[in-house]
A and B are shown apart, each in its own frame.
Chain A
Amino acid sequence: MTAAIKTLDELLTSPTETNRSLSTEEYFLNMGPQHPIAHGSLKLVLLMDGETVRKVIPVPGFVHRGIEKMCEHLGYRQIIHLTDRMDYLSALMNNWAVSKTVEKAAGIETNGRIETIRTIMAELQRLQSHVLWWGVLGMDLGAFTAFMYAFRDREIIGEIFEETIGARLTMNYIQPGGLMYDILPDFVSKVKKLIAYLKPIIEEYDTLLSGNVITQERLRNIGILKAEKAIGLGCTGPVLRGSGIPYDLRKLEPYGAYDKVDFDVVIGTKGDCWDRYYVRIEEMRQSLKIIEQLIDNIPEGPHSVAKINYKIVLPEGTYYGQIETARGVLGVFIVSDGKNETPYRMHFRSPSFNNLWTVTQIVPGWRIADLIAIQSSLDLVIPDIDR
């Protein structure tokens, strides 16, 4: 798919194909950065005809904080705290992505305990992220109760994080060379209680939203993303898997302890909003399955194999590592000049950035209410797009 870069002016004044018999006037509607469903500060310029959307032009960049530039004068252990703030709903997975890349580049070998705990934490974070996504989807569709239930359940996972890590959102826990803290003795029992609590709760979620005919009609056959288009746009994560392509980095390039556990890759068939929705609900169940298999078998060992004040200088060259976050594939690209302890250039391939541009392809032709359903089902986190 070739992309000729157009300026915003050109996009706004270019003519659209019209083959309507009734002459109506199209108008621009600005779903601006401050909007209840913007999920962050994302501006969408919509070209509308009545209630149908003819063109969507996203204008990201309102949350740009220069993370990649800031990384250029921070050491690798200091970069980890910035990655928390990119896609804050999968903070631990972002930490893991950078740690993995740095460890591979520097040749640091971690042990089984570190990898197992990292996997458990990542799956807990994935659960937390999907629960919040579910609640926000309910709120966008109009069921405000779903939002409250989601936050109530998210708190419980947050409390486990708070006890082990010390923070609920900005974790800074998975560092190159291991973990910041070892897990507490009651971590295993707490996680087991959580699993026992969450299993019937996901059934409740099914009752409240998935089994409701109104939700099904709002999500069914809306915003169909065909498989070829999804691959062409570079989507990953549940967006790609909802279109039927079983691309899951946890199975294809296993890292951590994923090769030791048995779980299903959840895919859809048609690529509509219902597929993307139910893929994530089923992924929640698969995450619970993974945690169940790992929680009793955490091997013994130190929680960090690198010394605390370890200054990491990567050899000269370029390194790339990727990980499957709750939204898709997060890739970390490091260019090191071999002399400093700071990278020469660091780039993050964020999953929400590629998923965002699907709205330009799948929304035109649908109504405003469908635009909202589609945007919710894509699960975008705007700070991840803007970094």
Chain B
Amino acid sequence: MASNNIKAVKKEERIIGGRKVSVAVVMPRDTPAPIPSALAGLVKGMLLTLGYFVRPWKIVTRQYPENRKTLKFPQRYRSMLHLIFEEDGYHRCMACRICEKACPNRSIKILSQKNQISGKIELDRYIWRMDTCVFCNACVQSCPFDALEMGHEFENAVYDRRLLIFTLNRYAGPSVLRKVESMEARSKMMEPRDRYGGPVPLNGTSMPIVQPLMVKPAQKPGDIG
């Protein structure tokens, strides 16, 4: 739009590549603005900032630690990875390793074990590295069982780097999608898993100098530890 009463942009039609294209040409400024309109422009700029000065309700700052209770995140916000646990505490991961292959920088490592009783592959540890994860959502998108989601926790700073490598499953055992005869048989197949245990993967290899952080093993199944 015109500033300083000089038309800033002129519209015309040009033929480019055999096609008629509508073009907006920015008018050149060859001379400095005349003094009255220059002063008027300066004053208008000052009035604009004064307008924001006298309207304190236009302030957009949010004071962070004080507004934590009312913070709302969009549903799709991508932060900490979780396995989705159903109401009875079972996850849906079948240890198919599709997410491990989809992850661009190998931030997911799945340790699987063979179930003693049924002989089928099941999840032992689902290790996710938050320190290398880029939160690209490839794992969530690629899981055929919808077992993963990215949650909203964003205050994840720690003082020890080893605390950024998580075991996401709370128990090693069959997922809820695998049919088991009875509840007792199912709970016999489950072993609790703590959050920070397990070997520390680095692109598929273990780092010998960083010892895994061993927390006390959980007392009851389903206990996070």
Contact = CB atoms under 8 A, between A and B. Distances in A.
Interface of A: 74, 77-78, 80-82, 145, 152, 155, 162-167, 170, 172, 180-181, 203-204, 206-214, 216-217, 220-221, 242, 246, 251-252, 262-270, 272, 274-275, 278-279, 282, 286, 308-309
B9 interface: yes
28 contacts: A78-B136, A80-B136, A145-B49, A152-B60, A162-B74, A166-B78, A167-B78, A170-B135, A172-B137, A203-B1, A208-B45, A210-B8, A211-B44, A212-B42, A212-B45, A213-B41, A251-B19, A264-B22, A265-B21, A267-B24, A267-B25, A269-B26, A272-B28, A275-B28, A279-B26, A286-B24, A308-B141, A309-B144
B1 A206 contact: yes
A279 B22 CA distance: 14
B142 A309 contact: yes
Contact of A211 (B26, B45, B75, B134): B45
Interface string B132-147: 0011111001101000
Nearest to A253: B17
B14 interface: yes
Nearest to B51: A204
Q: Please list the 10 inter-chain residue pairs (A to B) with the smallest Cβ-Cβ separation, ordered nearest first.
A: A213-B38, A166-B76, A211-B3, A81-B136, A78-B104, A264-B24, A163-B74, A211-B41, A166-B78, A278-B26
B23 A246 contact: yes
A213 B60 contact: no
A263 B21 CA distance: 9
Interface in B82-113: 98, 102, 104
A210 B22 contact: no
Contacts of A74: 104
B32 interface: yes
A80 B49 CA distance: 41
Given A78-B104, A252-B17, A270 B48 contact: no
Nearest to B144: A309
Interface string B63-86: 000000000001111100000000
Interface residues of B, number: 47
B138 to A, nearest CB: 6
Nearest to A277: B26
Contacts of A279: 26
A251 B21 contact: yes
B22 A269 contact: no
A57 to B, nearest CB: 30
A220 B16 contact: no
Contacts of B25: 266-269
Interface in B1-51: 1, 3-4, 8-9, 11, 14, 16-17, 19, 21-30, 32-33, 38, 41-42, 44-45, 48-49
B24 A266 contact: yes
Contacts of A286: 24
B74 to A, nearest CB: 4
A262 B11 CA distance: 13
A216 B32 contact: yes
B142 A275 contact: no
Contact of B29 (A170, A264, A274): A274
Interface in B154-183: none
Contacts of B27: 269
A166 B73 CA distance: 9
A246 B21 contact: yes
Nearest to B12: A264
Nearest to B27: A269
B123 to A, nearest CB: 19
Contact of B136 (A164, A172, A275): A172
B150 interface: yes
A206 to B, nearest CB: 5
Contact of A213 (B16, B28, B33, B48): B33
A180 B30 CA distance: 49
B4 A211 contact: yes
Contacts of B142: 308-309
Contact of A81 (B8, B19, B44, B104): B104
Given A208-B45, A252-B16, A278-B8, 5 more contacts: A163-B74, A208-B49, A246-B23, A264-B24, A308-B141
A282 B98 contact: no
A56 B116 CA distance: 71
A367 to B, nearest CB: 18
B128 to A, nearest CB: 16
B113 to A, nearest CB: 24
A217 B135 CA distance: 45
Contacts of A207: 3, 41, 44-45, 48
Contact of A170 (B19, B76, B77, B134): B134
A170 B3 contact: no
Given A207-B45, A262-B22, A286-B24, A167 B135 contact: yes
Contacts of B33: 213, 216
A168 B135 CA distance: 12
A274 B38 CA distance: 16
A282 B32 contact: no
Most buried by A among B11, B29, B102: B29
A52 B205 CA distance: 56
Nearest to B78: A166
A68 B23 CA distance: 36
Nearest to B3: A211
A81 B138 contact: yes
